[in-house]
Amino acid sequence: MPSHHTPAVVVCPRVVEQFLDTALPVYERLTPEHPLPCFAVLLGKSTPAAMHVRRLAFGANARTTAGAAIEEFATTIVPRFGSAYENTDRGYWLDPADLLRINREAERTGMDILGSIHMHPDWHRITRKEEEQACALSSRPTAMDEHVFAEAGWPVNIICYLEQVNGLTSYNVEAWNPSGELLPIRMSVKAEAA
């Protein structure tokens, strides 16, 4: 019987730290009316055994300014995944100019775009809507995430779940492929040169 090998995702710890440095202030500003997103692109190298995530690149959210984003949310996202996505603070659409800049930067440094990382907050604690309180987010993909992962086709999609319990904020990260399958994630011990 042939064995199916799933490559591990090896992440440089500073990548997670850099994401948290950006995500935590966003998380602390969340309100029931403003479910602010946090998103970044993962850069690194891929081998048959592992995908090595070495850097992050941030870009602007064009959710309300890019014509393709406006159309996608109106014709696909809201009808398929619910009226919560009518709130323009919910959801992220990477500015196409920033994606081009990030791709060129990756090429200049000998890296590839491997995927993305985005934040899931403990929305069930923050929201006032009963139906949202009953559906706790986690580091697992939502139906909307699965749609986006499949459409983007990037091999690595990391979700960073932030949760506050008794005044302490903690996080968990998990990686997913475009088919929504869990990828093994490892933190590198020795820092690699960018």
**7 belongs to a structural domain:** no
β partners of residue 168: 165
**44 belongs to a structural domain:** yes
Residue 90: Cβ within 10 Å count: 19
| pTM of the full structure | 0.91
**193 belongs to a structural domain:** no
Q: What CATH number should be reported for the domain holding residue 167?
A: 3.40.140.10
Please give the DSSP secondary-structure letter assigned to residue 111: -
- Decide: residue 126, CB within 10 A, 0-12 exposed, 13-18 middle, 19+ buried: middle
Q: Report the distance separating Cα 154 and Cα 177, nearest Å.
A: 7
**5 belongs to a structural domain:** no
Number of domains into which the chain is organized: 1
Would you state the pLDDT for residue 101?
Answer: 98
Would you state the pLDDT for residue 66?
Answer: 96
> In the numeric block, which tokens belong to residue 75?
């014709």
Would you state the pLDDT for residue 108?
Answer: 98
β partners of residue 172: 161
Q: For the chain (length 194 residues), average pLDDT per consecutive 10?
A: 68 97 96 91 95 97 96 96 90 96 98 97 82 79 94 96 94 95 88 53
Q: Report the distance separating Cα 155 and Cα 180, nearest Å.
A: 10
> In the numeric block, which tokens belong to residue 14?
């500073």
Would you state the pLDDT for residue 2?
Answer: 42
> In the numeric block, which tokens belong to residue 34?
């403003």
Would you state the pLDDT for residue 1?
Answer: 40
Would you state the pLDDT for residue 130?
Answer: 76
> Residue 104 is part of which domain span?
12-187
**81 belongs to a structural domain:** yes
Please give the DSSP secondary-structure letter assigned to residue 94: B
**109 belongs to a structural domain:** yes
**127 belongs to a structural domain:** yes
Would you state the pLDDT for residue 150?
Answer: 95
